[in-house]
Structure 1
């Protein structure tokens, strides 16, 4: 079976919530193809679905180093790090990502979420406002994301 077809099967299995089947399909990829970016991306999707944060952290971190221009690897690396290690370590990853992607709303938004969770509400407000300015679609996320509950309770505004 060719790789594109195999990757299509993995994607289909994941869309149906059939994580074990997707993982089984990934294991049939030939060893010489295992490090291809599209195969690693499929692995990332499977690890996320399995909530295997430690392994996802390693794979996404390697991808962020390999392709620093792709913001999604940074965000996934930070997300998995948050789950596997700590919010502080996840924030450090996104602060590095910010150097590569200063105008990416998703980086700003996630930094705002982490600041909110750490009780740094002024920083959270500033980051979320920046994210919304970069991409107005983040306004809805700001109104709903549970990570920003403390910010919403504080009114999301500057402290006097």
Structure 2
């Protein structure tokens, strides 16, 4: 079987995507490095590169790649969430919040966006916004309650009565529905 040159970049992108699903960033980066410079100028290439760098904990490199992906498609949820994740880990919390607010403008129906906004506002010390976003996310997707107990972003709110009320209300509602 002869593989046409035009199909090789797609094959490498698909392989990289598979390695990312398996959480194997070094293998994904290897596949992406096989793509020639002339074939790298795509949103998918940069998004996958960002994801691989993020998984490899190279957050600044991931941000650089995500920025290129964002320039090509500013509404892609994977790119926006990856950028926010990396901004948080490079001590740029206000940028993480801004990107997640932008994600909300395009993806208001995605509970994980609201949940992440709650996490970031908690870290920023904005209890009112944190609890508001958390309550909204749990109303949209009660299953998110499973994440809260192990989420270190909420550690500063764990003893707060308003936070406990929102969490306990969601837990009660979830247990009534099962």
TM-score band, normalised by shorter chain: 0.7 to 0.9
* In the alignment, structure 1 residue 136 sits paired with structure 2 residue 132: no
What is the deviation of 1:13?
4.2
What is the deviation of 1:145?
1.2
Give ranges in structure 2 of 5+ residues lacking alignment.
Answer: 167-178
Q: Which residue of 2 aligns with 1:9?
A: 15
Q: Which residue of 2 aligns with 1:28?
A: 34
SS in structure 2 of the partner of residue 63 of structure 1: helix
SS in structure 1 of the partner of residue 82 of structure 2: helix
Give ranges in structure 1 of 5+ residues lacking alignment.
Answer: none
CA distance in 2, matches of 1:116, 1:80: 17
Question: Given the superposition, is the C-alpha separation of residues 15 and 130 from structure 1 closer, same or farther in structure 2, using an over 3 Å criterion?
Answer: closer
**How do 1:143-158 residues align onto structure 2 when only pairs under 5 Å count?**
143-155=149-161, 156=163, 157=165
What is the deviation of 1:119?
2.3
What is the deviation of 1:20?
3.2
Question: Given the superposition, is the C-alpha separation of residues 11 and 99 from structure 1 closer, same or farther in structure 2, using an over 3 Å criterion?
Answer: closer
Q: Which residue of 2 aligns with 1:45?
A: 51
* In the alignment, structure 1 residue 117 sits paired with structure 2 residue 119: no
Question: Given the superposition, is the C-alpha separation of residues 55 and 149 from structure 1 closer, same or farther in structure 2, using an over 3 Å criterion?
Answer: same
TM-score (structure 1 length as normaliser): 0.82
Please say which of residues 12-21 and 138-147 is displaced more in the overlay. Answer: 12-21
TM-score (structure 2 length as normaliser): 0.75
Q: Which has the larger radius of gyration?
A: 2
What is the deviation of 1:7?
2.8
Question: Given the superposition, is the C-alpha separation of residues 17 and 97 from structure 1 closer, same or farther in structure 2, using an over 3 Å criterion?
Answer: closer
Please say which of residues 45-54 and 63-72 is displaced more in the overlay. Answer: 63-72
Question: Given the superposition, is the C-alpha separation of residues 15 and 63 from structure 1 closer, same or farther in structure 2, using an over 3 Å criterion?
Answer: closer
CA distance in 1, matches of 2:82, 2:30: 22
What is the deviation of 1:94?
1.6
CA distance in 1, matches of 2:53, 2:16: 12
